[in-house]
């Protein structure tokens, strides 16, 4: 890790009188897995939405690979190499799994058959069995939905992947498999990951560095063991001052 792949500088986003993001400055280093945690309403998903062009920031700047991308539309940001998954899975219920993944690869391949071949390769990489590729989105399990969401994002060939609560609703065995999958994406496909997660087992086991948000601001950052013992973090999560 030698340089910042993504950087936000004094980023601000408000909704009426509420500052959902309040002067947030972070750096994501190329090649890392960065955990982004905080209580509900801390501003984590809003930060993702600003980075990916879903929301236009009200202040501050965003840089990706040293190029300012503040306020660019989502399709341009995806083409630059930033992908994402969503907090709630967005299944293509009437579309086959293969076609759903191929919608991502069509960003890079204009030929539909080439896009489908790329989709098959990514599905295989993520361990999706061949027999579900022709199933419709409404016919697969939650874990498979999560993998399809990941596959669709990977099909856009991102350099940076923002992952929003991919562990939610998974059983313990599925969570272990997802941890392995995220580490595999990072190590084998060389994709930098920022992972928003409430399941501490997941985020603390894969992150080399963790940023903690509370009420729209960054309150702590560092190694997982450092932030988990930070008094401000304990107070933000528990609402009490540590003894």
Tell me the pLDDT tens digit for each residue of 129-153. 999 999 998 899 999 999 999 999 9
Cα separation, 79 vs 37, whole angstroms: 27
User: Is there a contact between 83 and 162 (Cβ–Cβ < 8 Å)?
Assistant: yes
Query: Quick one: the chain helix, strand, coil %, rounded to 5?
Result: 40, 25, 35
Q: Bridge partners of 204?
A: none
- In the prediction, which pLDDT does 1 show? 46
Q: Where do the H-state alpha helices sit in 52-171?
A: 74-80, 97-105, 112-125, 142-154
**Dihedral sign (CA 187, 191, 194, 195):** negative
Cα separation, 115 vs 112, whole angstroms: 5
Cα separation, 151 vs 115, whole angstroms: 12
User: Is there a contact between 12 and 186 (Cβ–Cβ < 8 Å)?
Assistant: no
Coil, helix or strand at residue 97: helix
Give the pLDDT mean for 238-243: 52
Query: Is the predicted pLDDT of residue 25 greater than 90, yes or no?
Result: yes
- In the prediction, which pLDDT does 89 show? 76
Query: Is the predicted pLDDT of residue 235 greater than 90, yes or no?
Result: no
- In the prediction, which pLDDT does 69 show? 97
In this predicted model, what pLDDT tens digit does every residue of 50-67 receive, in sequence order?
A: 999 999 999 999 999 999
Verdict on whether the full-model pTM lies above 0.85:
yes
Average pLDDT of every residue of the chain: 92
The proportion of the chain whose per-residue pLDDT surpasses 90, expressed as a percent, equals: 84
């Amino acid at each position: 890790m030698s340089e910042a792949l993504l950087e936000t500088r004094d980023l601000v986003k408000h909704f009426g009188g509420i500052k959902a993001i309040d002067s947030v400055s972070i750096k994501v280093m190329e090649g890392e897995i960065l955990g982004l945690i905080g209580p509900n309403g801390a501003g984590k998903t809003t930060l993702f939405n600003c980075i990916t062009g879903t929301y236009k920031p009200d202040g501050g700047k965003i840089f990706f690979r040293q190029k300012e991308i503040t306020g660019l539309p989502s399709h341009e940001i995806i083409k630059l190499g930033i992908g994402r998954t969503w907090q709630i899975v967005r299944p293509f219920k009437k579309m086959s799994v293969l076609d759903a993944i191929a919608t991502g690869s069509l960003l890079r391949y204009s030929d539909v058959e080439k896009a489908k071949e790329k989709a098959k390769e990514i599905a295989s990489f993520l361990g999706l069995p061949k027999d579900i590729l022709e199933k419709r989105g409404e016919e697969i399990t939650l874990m498979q939905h999560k993998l399809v969401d990941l596959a669709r994002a990977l099909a856009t060939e991102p350099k940076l992947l923002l992952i929003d609560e991919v562990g939610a609703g998974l059983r313990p065995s599925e969570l272990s498999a997802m941890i392995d999958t995220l580490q595999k994406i990072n190590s084998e496909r060389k994709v930098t990951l920022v992972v928003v997660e409430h399941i501490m087992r997941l985020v603390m086991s894969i992150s080399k560095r963790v940023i903690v948000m509370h009420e729209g601001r960054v309150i702590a950052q560092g190694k997982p063991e450092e932030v988990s013992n930070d008094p401000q973090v304990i107070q933000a999560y528990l609402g009490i001052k540590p003894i």
